[in-house]
Structure 1
Amino acid sequence: MNLKHLVFRKTIDNLSKINAKPVSGRPKDLSTISAAISPSFYPTSSGQSHAYLQNPKNSKPVFPLIRYIHSTRDTRLSYASVGTELVCSDSEDGEDGTVNEFLSRFIWIMRGKLTEVYTDCNKETIDGMLLVIVEKVVEEMEKGGIQQMVSSTAVMSSKDFSEDLWRTVWEVSNMVLEDMEKARKKEKMKQFLQSEEVKEMCTYAGEVGVRGDLLRELRFKWAKEKMEENDFYESLERFRHKTQEKGVNVLDKHAVGAEDMPKVASLPKRKGKIKYKTYGLDLSDPKWAEVANKIHERGEMIWPQEPKPISGKCKLVMEKILSLKTEDDPSQLLAEWIELLQPTRVDWITLLDKLEQQNPGLHLKIAELVLREESFQTSVRDYTKMIDAYAKENRIEDADRILKKMVESGIMPDGLIATILVHMYSKVGNVAQAKEAFESLRSYDFQPDMKIYNSMIMACVNAGEPRHGESLLREMETRDMKPSEDIYMALLRSYSDSGDVNGAERLSNTMQFVGFQPNTEYFSLLVKLYGQAGNPEEARSNFDSMIKLGHKPDDKCTANMIAAYEKENLLDRGLNLLMQLEKDGFEPGIATYTVLLDWFGKLQLVDETEELLGKIAELGEVPPLKVHVSLCDMYSRAGFEKKALQALGVLEARKDELGPHEFERTISALIAGGFVHDARRIHGIMEAKGFTASEQVNMDLSASMALSQKRPLQRWPSR
C-alpha cells in the first residue's frame, strides 16, 4: 500500500471519531478533515500537488468526472428532505428561510458529488466532509463573500480548498440559486393560477367549449400575463421608492438605465453570526427517488417545458424560415431545422408564435405542415385552431381540407369544431352543411348556445328558409333562451320578402306574446306583405295601428300602403290617404312618387304622370329604374314614339339592372304600341342575359311580327 492510501486510511479513522451531531463551531480536528479533501494532501510521484480533488481509488480528476446527475427534479425534495436547520441571531424570518433553503439544497447536491467520488467512504465520513465544506461556505456568507463567489467566474483559492473544489462549490451554489428562483416563480405562478380573474376567464372559456389541453395552455398563458403585469408594477414601485430614498430624479435616463440592468441572484447580506447544525433523513432509500419522480411528473403538468436555446446554424435556418415569402416552399428549410434542433412540441409552438408575429402570411402554411410532424404531438385542439383560423378568413375549402386530414389521421371532430363549422357555413350561406354541423352537435350531447342559434337562424334567413329558422326559434324558447329583437325582425323580413302571410302572422303573434314592442319597420313589413297578398284592408289596419302607437309613417311605409291600393286599383282611397297624411305634415318622397307614377302610367294619365316626374326631379334624386320602365310602358301604349324610344334608350343603357319582370313588361308594351322591331331587339338582350321569356310574351311577339307585315302601323302624334 502506497503512502497516499496509508494517509487516506488514517484520515478515515480520524473522521470516524468526529461527532456529526449539531455543532456551532469548527471541530478540533478540522485540519485533518480539510486535509482529507484538500488536493495538496496527496503528493504526486513528481512531488507536486494536484490542482484538483482526487478519488483515493481513482487518480482521475474530480471536476471532469462530476456530472450534474442530480437534476432540478432531484433538488425539489432537498429542502423538504435534507435536515438543515439555521438559527440567526438578528435576522428576519424571511432571511432565515432563504438561507435555510439555500444550504439545504447545497448539501443535497454536494452529498451526491462526494458520494460519487469517494465510493469507499461511509456515510459518517461523507457527513464530515460536508460539514467542513458547509462551514467554509457559511464563513464566506458571514463575510459577504458568497455573493461575489456565486456572481463571478473567478475561482477562489485558499489553503483549505483546492481551486477545483472552489469551482465545484461555485457551480453548485449557482445551480442552487437558479433552482430557488425557479421554485419561487412556480410558487408565484400557482397564486396567479388560482386568482379570481384567471378563474373567471377559464370559466368563460369552458362555457364556450374550450376544454382539455387548450384550456390548460390558455390558463397558464393568462396567469403568466397577470404575473408579468404584477412584476412590472412592482418594479416601478421599487424604482419609485429607491429614487425617493436617494433623491434621484425619476426622469434621469442614467438612473433608469441603472435600475433596468439585470442583477445576479444572490443571498441577502447577513449582519449576525450564522449558527447552524446539520442533521436529517437517510435519502439513500429508493422510495425517495419514486417520490421525486412523481413530483417531477406533477410539476410538468403545471409548469411547461422551456424551448431549447437556438444558436449557430440552427438560428440562421430559423431566420431564413421567418423571412420566407408566402409563395415559397418551406419544406426543405423545415427539414434542416428539425435535423439541427430535434425539436419538441414547445419548440414548434415557439416557432409558430414567431411566424404569427413576423410573417402572418406564412404562418398557416407552415402550421399545416407541422401537423404531420410526430415531434409536434398533434392533438384535436391543434386541428381546431387551424380550422378556426381558416374559418375567420372565409377560406372554406382550406378549412374542409384540414377537417378531412383530421379524420384521416384518426381524430374525430368534437363539439368545439362543430361549433366553428356552424358559424363558418352560416356566414357564407351554406345552409346544408351548417345544418349537418349543427346536428353533429346534438350527437356530441353539446347544447348549442345563443351565438350558434343566431348563426343558424341567420343562415336560414339568408337562404330564404324562414320556416326552418322559426323552428330553431321555438327550440330556443323551450330552452328558456330569449331570442333578440334582431332575430325576430330578420325572420319577419324573410317572410315578408317571400310573401308568406301565414308564417308572418304566426311570428307576429309570437312577438306580441313575448312582449316585443312594434316599431316602424315592423308595421312597414306587414303593410307590404298584406299589400302584395291583395289584402289592402289588413294592410290599412296595420298602417293605422302604427299611427295610433305614435309612430309616424315614413316614405317607404306610405309607398307600400299606396302599392296595396294600386294592386286592387283603389285610386280614390289611395289619394284620400295621401291628402290626409299631407294635412298631418307628411311630405311624399321618391318611393311614394314612384308608386303613384307607375299607377298613373298604367291608367294612361300622361299629364299627371309627367307632373309626378317633375316632382321627382325637384327632389334632386336620380329616378329609380322602375320610373323609366313605367314611362316606356305608358308612352309605348299611348303611341308617343319619340318619348317611348327615349325611355327605351335609358333602359338599354341600364340593361344590367333589368330583371325578367322588367324585360317582359317592356317587350309587352313595345308590342302593344307597334314597336315590333324594338321588341325583338329587347327580347334578344333578355336572352343574352340568361333570362327566358314566358310563353305569353313569345306568342305575342310572334303574332305581332305576322300582323306587322299585313297592315301599316298607326302611331299617335308625338308630344
Structure 2
Amino acid sequence: MKEYELLEISLPLQPQYIPQAAAITLIESSFNPKLNAKDSEEEDETMNEFLSRFVWIMRGKLSEVYKDCDKQTIDGMLLIIVGKVVSEMEKGGLEHMFSAAVATASQDFSEDLWKTVWEVSNAVLEDMEKERKKEKMKGFLQCEEVQEMCRFAGEIGIRGDLLREFRFKWAREKMEESDFYEGLKRSREEEGKNAVTMGEEAVTMGEEKPKVVTLPMRHGKIKYKIYGLDLSDPKWAEVADRIHEAEELDWPEEPKPISGKCKLVTEKIVALKEEDDPSPLIVQWAELQQPSKIDWLALLDKLKEQNPHLYLKVAEILLSEKSFQANIRDYTMIFDAHAKQNRIEDAERIIKKMNENGVLPDIVITAALLRMYCKSGNLDRAREALESLRSNGFQPNKEIYNLMIMAYVNAGQPKLGESLVREMEARDLKPTVEIYKALLRSFSQCGDVGGAGRIATTMQFAGIQPSLESCALLIEAYGQAGDPDQARNNFDLIIKLGHKPDDKCTASMIAAYEKKNMLDKALKLLLQLEKGGFEPGLATCTVLVDWLGNLQLVDEAEQLLDRIAEQGEAPPLKIQVSLCDMYARAKMEKKALQALGVLEAKKEQLDFHDFDKTVGGLIAGGFVQEARRVYGLMEARGFSAEHLKVSLMASQAFSSMRPSK
C-alpha cells in the first residue's frame, strides 16, 4: 500500500468550519503551550480552517503542474504535503516557511515544492489576517461615534456612495486609533516583563536574539480535521467561493488610479457631446487601463456626474464589453432609466441585447416593461408582458392590476378592465375607489348603462356608498343611452342622500332630457333648482345653448350667451360649434362666418362630432363653399363621413342647376 494511502486512512471524517473573524488569533493561540484545556476545541477548529484553506489552494497548484495525474494521485500528494506541514508545526519548524531567506529544501521536498508550500502558507495567513481586520472593521462601522458622524453627514446632504466612503474612512480611522493604543498597552506590558526578568537571565555578549516568527513553537501533537477523506469534495470549492464572495461584499474593492495617457483619454471621453460616438475612445481607454468591473463603474460614475447625457450611451456600450462582466442588474439599471422617460424604442433595444447575450429578463424588468406599455397605451405589448409574468409564476399585485385596468379604461375598453376587477376580487385584492370610478366614468362616456350599473352595484357590495360623483356618472350613462327617467332617478337620489347637485351633474341631467327633446321637464327642473339657490353654470348653459340652437331659438340662445358673458367666462368651443350651426341654419351670414372663424382657428381641438355638426349646418344654410373648406380640414385630421360627401355633391349639383339672375 502506498504511503499516501496509509495517510488517507489516518484522517478523520468530520468537517468543521469556524468564523473567519478569529482565524489568525486562534491560529496563534493554538501554538501557545500555556493554553487551558477548555480551548482545545477552538484549537482544532482553527487548525482545520488553516489546513482547509491550505489544501484548497495547494490542490490548484498541483493540478496545474501535474496535468496528467489522476485525482487519486493528486489526493495522495496533498495528504503527504499536509502531513509534512503538520509535522513541521509539531516540531516548531514552521517558522522556516515564513522567511524567504531560509526557505531551503528539506529532505522530503524539493526546493521548488518547499518554496510553494511556504508561499501558500503565507497567503493563507494573510487572508485570515485580512478577515480578522474585516470583522474588526465591522464593529467600528457600527460604533456610536461613526453612526453619529453619519447622521450628521446625512443632515447636511451627504448621501449615497459618498456617505458610504466617508463611513468606511471614519471607521478605518477609529480602528487605526484603537490599534495604536492597543500597541502602546502591549509595549508597556512587555517592558514590565523585561524589567522583571532582566536581572535573572544572563545575556551573552554578541549572541543574536532569536528571530520573531508568525507562529510560536507548539509542543505536542496537533489535532486537525479536514473535509472528509475525498479531498476533491465540492465542499472545498463551495467554502472558497463563500469566503471570496464575503470578502468582495464586506471589503469594497477600489478602482485603479488613472494617470498618464489614460487620464488624457478619460478627459476626452468626459468632454464628448451626446451625438458623438464614444466607442473608439472606450476601446483605447480599455487598452491603456486594463480595467476590471470596478474601474468601469468608476468611469461611469464620473460620466454620470460630469456628462449625464453621455452616461447611458457609454453604459449601453459596456454591456458588450467582456471585462465589464455585465449582469442582469446592469441591464436593469439602463432599462429603468429609459422606461422612466417612456423611451420605448431604447428600452426595447436593451431587452433585445439581453436576449442576444443570453440574459433572460427577470420579473423586475418585465413588470417595468408592463408599466411602460400601460402608460404609453400599447395594450398588446402590455398583455404580452402580463402573460410573461404569469408564465414565470408571478401573480400580479395590486399595482400591476391597477396599471392594466387604467390602460383598458384609457383605450375605451372598460369591459376588459372589469374582468380584471373580478379577478382581483377572486384573489381577495380590493380595488381602490379611484379604479371603480375610472371604470364607471368609462362606461358612462360609452353610454354602456349595463356596465355602469354593474360597477355601481359592485361598489355598494364593497362598502362604498353612492357619492355625488358616482351618481353624476350614472346620470351621464343613462343620458347617453337616451333613458332620462333612470337618469332622473339617480338625480333625485343625490338630493335624497343630502348632496347638492352641482353644475356638471345638472348639465348631464339636462343633456338626458335633450336626447328625448323634453324641454318642458328640463325647464321645470331648472326652476325647481333655482328656488333652492342653484345658478346654472358654464356646463349647463353650454347644453342649453346647443339645445336652443337645434330648435332655432336664436334669441333665447343669445340671452344665455349674455348670461355667460356676465359671469366673466369665455364661451367654450362646444358653444362656438352650436352657434355656427345655429346661425348657418338661420342664414345669418355675418354671425355664422364669425363663429366659423373661431372654429377654424382652433381646428386642432375639434373632434369628429364637432366637424360633422359644423359641416352639416353650413350645407343646410347654403354655405357650400365654406362647408367644402371645413370638410377638407376634417379629412386632414383623419376624419371622414360618407353622408357629408353625398350632401356636398348634391348641394353642388343643385347650385349648378339654378338659373343665373
TM-score exceeds 0.5: yes
* Counterparts in 2 of 1:635 and 1:444: CA distance versus 1, 3 Å: same
| CA deviation string 1:661-694 (max 9, x = no partner) | 2223223223332333333333343334433233
Task: Give the conservation status (yes or no) of the 8 Å contact 1:78–1:108.
Answer: no
Q: Which residue is equivalent to 2:180?
A: 266
* Counterparts in 2 of 1:596 and 1:492: CA distance versus 1, 3 Å: same
* Counterparts in 2 of 1:611 and 1:222: CA distance versus 1, 3 Å: closer
- Counterpart mapping for 1:16-165 below 5 A: 77-82=23-28, 83=30, 112-114=97-99, 117-119=102-104
- Determine helix, strand or coil for the equivalent of 1:674: coil
Task: Give the conservation status (yes or no) of the 8 Å contact 1:674–1:713.
Answer: no
Q: Which residue is equivalent to 2:645?
A: 698
1:408 CA drift (Å): 1.6
1:654 CA drift (Å): 2.9
Task: Please tell me the residue identity of whatever aligns with 2:97.
Answer: G
- Whole-Å Cα distance in 2 between the matches of residues 561 and 326 of structure 1? 56
Task: Give the conservation status (yes or no) of the 8 Å contact 1:76–1:292.
Answer: no
1:328 CA drift (Å): 2.5
1:517 CA drift (Å): 2.8
Task: Please tell me the residue identity of whatever aligns with 2:27.
Answer: S
Task: Give the conservation status (yes or no) of the 8 Å contact 1:77–1:292.
Answer: no
> Which of 294, 312, 323 is 2:259 aligned to?
312
- Determine helix, strand or coil for the equivalent of 2:354: helix
- Whole-Å Cα distance in 1 between the matches of residues 598 and 317 of structure 2? 56
Does residue 473 of structure 1 match 2:473?
no
1:227 CA drift (Å): 10
Q: Which residue is equivalent to 1:333?
A: 281
- Determine helix, strand or coil for the equivalent of 2:459: helix
* Counterparts in 2 of 1:638 and 1:437: CA distance versus 1, 3 Å: same
Does residue 182 of structure 1 match 2:115?
no
- Whole-Å Cα distance in 2 between the matches of residues 74 and 515 of structure 1? 58
Does residue 443 of structure 1 match 2:355?
no
- Whole-Å Cα distance in 2 between the matches of residues 713 and 651 of structure 1? 32
- Whole-Å Cα distance in 1 between the matches of residues 390 and 609 of structure 2? 44
Q: Which residue is equivalent to 1:35?
A: none
- Determine helix, strand or coil for the equivalent of 2:299: helix
Task: Give the conservation status (yes or no) of the 8 Å contact 2:488–2:509.
Answer: yes
Gaps of 5+ in 1: 1-72, 88-103, 124-172, 196-220, 236-258, 715-719
1:284 CA drift (Å): 12
- Counterpart mapping for 1:240-639 below 5 A: 266-268=180-182, 269-270=184-185, 271-273=188-190, 278-280=216-218, 297-304=241-248, 306-313=253-260, 314-639=262-587
1:577 CA drift (Å): 0.9
- Whole-Å Cα distance in 2 between the matches of residues 642 and 108 of structure 1? 116
1:79 CA drift (Å): 2.0
Query: What percent identity do the matched residue pairs reach?
Result: 50
Task: Give the conservation status (yes or no) of the 8 Å contact 2:367–2:389.
Answer: yes
1:575 CA drift (Å): 0.8
Does residue 647 of structure 1 match 2:595?
yes
Task: Please tell me the residue identity of whatever aligns with 2:136.
Answer: R
- Whole-Å Cα distance in 2 between the matches of residues 299 and 190 of structure 1? 22
Task: Please tell me the residue identity of whatever aligns with 2:542.
Answer: T
| CA deviation string 1:469-517 (max 9, x = no partner) | 1111111111111111111111112212222222111111111110113
- Determine helix, strand or coil for the equivalent of 1:327: coil
Task: Give the conservation status (yes or no) of the 8 Å contact 2:24–2:128.
Answer: no
Task: Give the conservation status (yes or no) of the 8 Å contact 2:21–2:135.
Answer: no
- Whole-Å Cα distance in 1 between the matches of residues 466 and 27 of structure 2? 74
Task: Give the conservation status (yes or no) of the 8 Å contact 1:663–1:682.
Answer: yes
* Counterparts in 2 of 1:552 and 1:226: CA distance versus 1, 3 Å: farther
- Whole-Å Cα distance in 2 between the matches of residues 713 and 522 of structure 1? 60
Aligned pairs, number: 525
- Determine helix, strand or coil for the equivalent of 1:604: coil
1:74 CA drift (Å): 11
* Counterparts in 2 of 1:325 and 1:265: CA distance versus 1, 3 Å: farther
* Counterparts in 2 of 1:650 and 1:226: CA distance versus 1, 3 Å: closer
| CA deviation string 1:309-356 (max 9, x = no partner) | 314234443344334332232222222332233322333333333333
Task: Please tell me the residue identity of whatever aligns with 1:457.
Answer: I
- Whole-Å Cα distance in 1 between the matches of residues 216 and 238 of structure 2? 27
Per mean C-alpha deviation after superposition, the further-off stretch among 471-480 and 341-350 is 341-350
Gaps of 5+ in 2: 1-18, 35-49, 51-91, 109-124, 148-158, 195-214
- Determine helix, strand or coil for the equivalent of 1:635: helix
* Counterparts in 2 of 1:182 and 1:617: CA distance versus 1, 3 Å: same
* Counterparts in 2 of 1:576 and 1:311: CA distance versus 1, 3 Å: same
| TM-score normalised by the chain length of structure 1 | 0.65
Q: Which residue is equivalent to 1:656?
A: 604
Task: Please tell me the residue identity of whatever aligns with 1:357.
Answer: E
1:586 CA drift (Å): 1.2
* Counterparts in 2 of 1:629 and 1:299: CA distance versus 1, 3 Å: same
- Whole-Å Cα distance in 1 between the matches of residues 501 and 465 of structure 2? 16
* Counterparts in 2 of 1:311 and 1:597: CA distance versus 1, 3 Å: closer
- Whole-Å Cα distance in 2 between the matches of residues 438 and 327 of structure 1? 35
Task: Give the conservation status (yes or no) of the 8 Å contact 1:189–1:227.
Answer: no
Task: Please tell me the residue identity of whatever aligns with 1:585.
Answer: G
* Counterparts in 2 of 1:530 and 1:604: CA distance versus 1, 3 Å: same
1:179 CA drift (Å): 6.9
| CA deviation string 1:74-120 (max 9, x = no partner) | 99843222336599xxxxxxxxxxxxxxxx9xx99965333752526
Task: Please tell me the residue identity of whatever aligns with 1:433.
Answer: R
- Determine helix, strand or coil for the equivalent of 1:669: helix
- Whole-Å Cα distance in 2 between the matches of residues 543 and 108 of structure 1? 101
Task: Give the conservation status (yes or no) of the 8 Å contact 1:75–1:109.
Answer: no
Task: Give the conservation status (yes or no) of the 8 Å contact 2:503–2:537.
Answer: yes
- Determine helix, strand or coil for the equivalent of 2:569: coil
- Whole-Å Cα distance in 1 between the matches of residues 107 and 217 of structure 2? 16
Task: Give the conservation status (yes or no) of the 8 Å contact 2:446–2:480.
Answer: no
Task: Please tell me the residue identity of whatever aligns with 2:241.
Answer: E
Task: Give the conservation status (yes or no) of the 8 Å contact 1:676–1:705.
Answer: yes
1:424 CA drift (Å): 1.3
Task: Please tell me the residue identity of whatever aligns with 2:180.
Answer: S
* Counterparts in 2 of 1:426 and 1:531: CA distance versus 1, 3 Å: same
* Counterparts in 2 of 1:179 and 1:647: CA distance versus 1, 3 Å: closer
- Whole-Å Cα distance in 1 between the matches of residues 353 and 338 of structure 2? 14
| CA deviation string 1:33-72 (max 9, x = no partner) | xxxxxxxxxxxxxxxxxxxxxxxxxxxxxxxxxxxxxxxx
| CA deviation string 1:199-258 (max 9, x = no partner) | xxxxxxxxxxxxxxxxxxxxxx999978966986x99xxxxxxxxxxxxxxxxxxxxxxx
Task: Give the conservation status (yes or no) of the 8 Å contact 1:676–1:701.
Answer: yes
1:627 CA drift (Å): 1.6
